[in-house]
Every structure is written in structure tokens, then in C-alpha cells.
Amino acid sequence: MRHQPVQDLSALPDHAYGPRMTTWWGTLAFCAVEGMGFAMVIGAYLYLAFINPQWPLSAPAPGLLWSGLFTLVLLASVWPNHLAGKSGKRQDLPKVRLYLVIMSVIGVVLLVIRYFEFFSLHVRWDQNGYGSVVWLLLGLHTLHVLTDLGDTIVLTVLMFTRHGHGKRFSDVGDNAFYWNFVVLTWLPIYAILYWVPRM
């Protein structure tokens, strides 16, 4: 079949930022997948809480100190995360570097706090169904903090080597976007893990 040119694409840009790029949509779709995973485990938690007359099962409610600290730091991280995303959009390399380093440090701090949080749960995963589902929910969220931290560190290294240009800035935005997802999913999990047993 012969071709008949009707449109010229040569003037189009070769990258953009946010939802104009395929990567952003990929990130969104993976957020949907993982959000669904969270929803399933939260559903399992509520189901078990519903069928067991006493909840939490033979354990005091988990401690509020480390989890509270974790929540505060996580919420505070939204601001530097936002700034990282914004500098990425402006292609402002020094600021991108700065905020990515800050986000990496925050990620490490969060993991340290999370370590202590696990020990303030007052229950082991193999003690009973309650312990199992608490550890699963907290573990699943920790996995997300961990993977995003890994992603952030790799991106930071890229920004400090000669790769910090072009499409890479859009990756900074997607990384910030994903971190917001990690923060957002924590809020219902925090409420369920720490406040449902106190109701």
C-alpha cells in the first residue's frame, strides 16, 4: 500500500514531564497493582478482626512511640519530596541532587525507625493469626519503603555522574510520585495497625 503523508511529527519534543510520558503511566499502573495488594491484606486484617471476638488476640495493642515517630518523619518527607519533583521539572541539577540526597537519608532513617517499630508490636508473626497479619501488613509496607529507597539511591548516583540530563529529570518526577504513594498507603495502614486494636 502506498503512503500518503498527512502529518509531520518532526517538530515534536523527544521528552516531557509527568503524564505525557509512558513511564509515568507505568508507575501509576504499578501503584494500582500494589495498592490492590495492600487492600487485600487490609481486607484480611479486618476480616480476621471481625471473626475473632477478641482483638487483638492475646497481645496488648502495638506501641505508639516508634510508629508515631515513623509517621511524623514520613509525613515530613512529603515536603522535600515535592521539592525534588519540582526541581526535576525545572531541570535544576544542583537542587535535584540536594533533595535526592535528603530523600535518601530520610529513607535510611525511616528504615531504622521501622526496625524498632517491629519490636514494639508485642507479638510475633508465628504466635497467632493476629501476629501473622500484623507482620505481613507492616512487612509489605517496609518492602515498599525499601524498594523506593533503592530506586532513589540509584537515581541520586545517576544525577552525580554524567547521566543527569534529559529524560532522567522525568524519572525524578516519577520517583517523587511513587514516594507519595508510599506515604499515602501508610496512613490507612497506620490507622488499622495502631488504632483499630484500641477501639
- C-beta of residue 177 within 8 angstroms of C-beta of residue 24: yes
Q: Which of 10, 119, 198, 199 lies at the binding interface for another protein (CB under 8 A)?
A: 10
Q: Which of 60, 166, 177, 193 lies at the binding interface for another protein (CB under 8 A)?
A: 166
C-alpha cell at 57: 488476640
DSSP 14: S
Please identify, using beta-carbon distances, which residue of 11 and 199 lies nearer to another protein: 11
- C-beta of residue 134 within 8 angstroms of C-beta of residue 193: yes
Site stretch for another protein (CB under 8 A), options 48-56, 73-81, 104-112, 184-192: 48-56
C-alpha cell at 152: 532513589
Site stretch for another protein (CB under 8 A), options 77-85, 104-112, 113-121, 132-140: 132-140
Q: Which of 64, 76, 108, 154 lies at the binding interface for another protein (CB under 8 A)?
A: 154
- C-beta of residue 121 within 8 angstroms of C-beta of residue 135: yes
DSSP 17: S
Q: State the nearest-atom distance from the C-beta of 127 to another protein, in Å.
A: 8
Site stretch for another protein (CB under 8 A), options 44-52, 67-75, 106-114, 179-187: 44-52
Rounded to whole angstroms, how far apart are CA atoms 40 and 137? 10
Give the three-state DSSP class for 77.
coil
Residue 30 found at the interface with another protein (CB under 8 A): yes
Residue 1 found at the interface with another protein (CB under 8 A): yes
Site stretch for another protein (CB under 8 A), options 14-22, 79-87, 114-122, 181-189: 14-22
Residue by residue, DSSP assigns 98-154 as: HHHHHHHHHHHHHHHHHHHHHHTSSS-TTT-HHHHHHHHHHHHHHHHHHHHHHHHHH
Residue 190 found at the interface with another protein (CB under 8 A): no
Rounded to whole angstroms, how far apart are CA atoms 36 and 41? 9
Please identify, using beta-carbon distances, which residue of 38 and 179 lies nearer to another protein: 38
Residues lying near another protein in the complex (CB under 8 A): 1-16, 20-22, 25-26, 29-30, 32-34, 36-37, 39-41, 43-44, 47-48, 51-52, 57, 125-133, 135-136, 150, 154, 158, 163, 165-167
